[in-house]
Amino acid sequence: MQKPSGVQSNNPVLHGPAICGPVDAGGIKDNRTLASRTNASLIISKGRDGRRTRRIRSPIGKQDSAAQRSPVPSTTFTFQSSPPAHAEIFIQRGRPDQAGCFPKAGQSGGGRPTELCMLRRLISQQLNYFAKMPTTLPAKPTQPVLSPPVHRGLAVLDKSLFTLKVPLVAVRVPIAQTTQYRRAELKDFALHLPRVQSIASDDSPEHRRLILCISEKSQLPTEILDLLAQREIDVVQHEVKFDYEYWSADQILQAILPEELLDESPTSFTQVGHIAHLNLRDEYLPYRHMIGQIILDKNKSLRTVVNKLDTIDNVFRNFKMEVLAGDDDFIAQISESGCFFKFDFSQVYWNSRLQGEHARLVDSFSHNDVVVDAFAGVGPFAIPAGKKGCGVLASDLNPASASALAENAKTNKVEANVRTANEDARDFIRQSVLDVWSTPFPAYKAPLSTKAKGKLAHEAAKRVLDPSATPSTPQPETQAGPPRKLVDHFVMNLPDSAITFLDAYRGLYKHLYALPGAREAVDAAGPGKLPMVHCYCFTKDMASAEEDILARATAALGMPVTTQTTDYKLRFVRDVAPKKEMYCLEFRLSPEMVA
């Protein structure tokens, strides 16, 4: 064996053929495993792209004395061959100086020249392992890429047309060794597809079939074939069947829709309870029933699929819809923000995509706030706010929405905090400040902790057993503060036209100031406690959205609404259409506006 060249520098690189046994480094012969004061790490890799590596970091030997316990500089020996195989050994000696250089042998902190030897025993233990490794590795087989049979122009959905049979190879292995072959010997060849088991039954009860991702026995490497033959493992053909249930909705639609409609498969929908709500473009309408059935089949939580037939252009904010597949049942039951909602989806407005916006606005309310929701719908703002402790006046002009709102308040046990109505929004806003003043909400009381509830239950149980017993602690006060008589927030969630109702705030307190003590209470609270307005709106002016919204708000209110208005914010909510955006305009009413 050719020996590497001698040590040329503090960090020599030694070139030579593949290493198969003990080696002398640069003619320095040393039988010791490692000189004292040496910490060693061995890193060996072999194979294409270094795919197989073995790393050893092993401090060997002890310090001769406390005075010689200085770190040692790094010396690297690299053995290279073609195909690539190399071993690297790092011997730490000394501490680097400010320039990053290590002390040389003979200097303070350095080691003896003989300590730059190869770690003979350490290398010997590892190189036999790499000598047996192949220098080139077989290419890892790829998993089959599958798609359903294509049937364009299909008028009626026929599920049997989407069955695909794929011939593959399998090996018959004893039951007890199935996992061993799948995870070790045949790991790279085992079938790995979503929702497909790679283990199948066999005619023999003592065996199972491990399905491979190849279609021909000849695709297995010779080494594996020899191993299987030596162990008497049979290689057989195995057919895997993929039916309609296996394919996704998008894959089925890609197989049946005309090629000019494949760029955007209509598989997206909004889910409201058990109902999937689609908004299909005109070009997909001839295939709408098949699309609806496929979406229903591929989403087990659905029972009804509908398509919107028109836009929301009526005063009640609902729209006509067509049932494409499933039950003709529009009574939806959903949970949002810890609250339960039930309503007739065909009669009211609900948008699940606004769930995050509902939560954001409710989170901005304080427990002690009074909120007026003039376009309340079935209560996505009002019910969570009432559950938080806010006093809420909520109304909707749609009788179906107002009825569902009242029922949802009872279901969620917040009817004491949420007062519902079925009124016009403009009249409701103007009357709300008078109603809250004349019939105020009691002060917010924080709910009892679990410990306090347990204590009260224990006291109640004691009084049942001994009526003469008195509570060991006084009962908490039922009133935590003064009643809530002023409105803190107005919510206007009707993006299409809410901004036109801003005129309701001009002179809002005119009649309130006529009531005894009202003006004094408002003045005592100060301008910073006048109500905040949260007005949702659309805009089609993409380039100047803020200017457009502020101009319309100013025209509706009859007073300037600008970026300088107190507590002004304009928040983007979502894209509604390619050239239509939804925003929330927020500002605090001024004394001039409400006077």
DSSP 408-464: HHHHTT-TTTEEEE---HHHHHHHHHHHHHHSPBPPP-PPPPHHHHHHHHHHHHHHH
Q: What is the mean pLDDT of residues 442-451?
A: 81
As a whole number of angstroms, the distance between CA 296 and CA 294 comes to: 5
Q: 401 to each of 78, 348, 380, 490, how far by Cα in Å?
A: 78, 6, 11, 19
- pLDDT band with cut points at 50, 70 and 90 for residue 88: very low
* Position 63 confidence tier, pLDDT thresholds 50, 70, 90: very low
pLDDT band at 442, cuts 50/70/90? very high
Looking at residue 97, its pLDDT comes to 55
In sequence order, the β-bridge partners of residue 168 are 238
Q: Is the dihedral of CA 41, 45, 51, 53 positive or negative?
A: negative
Q: How far apart are CA 16 and CA 565, in angstroms?
A: 80
More confident residue, 232 or 100: 232
Per-residue pLDDT tens for 153-193? 888 999 999 999 999 999 999 999 999 999 998 999 999 99
pLDDT one-digit tens code per residue, 254-307: 999 999 998 888 988 999 999 999 989 999 999 999 999 999 999 999 999 999
Dist CA 400 CA 315 (whole Å): 13
Mean pLDDT over the full length of the chain: 80
Which residues have CB under 8 Å from 575's CB, separation 6+? 581, 582
pTM exceeding the 0.75 threshold for the entire prediction: no
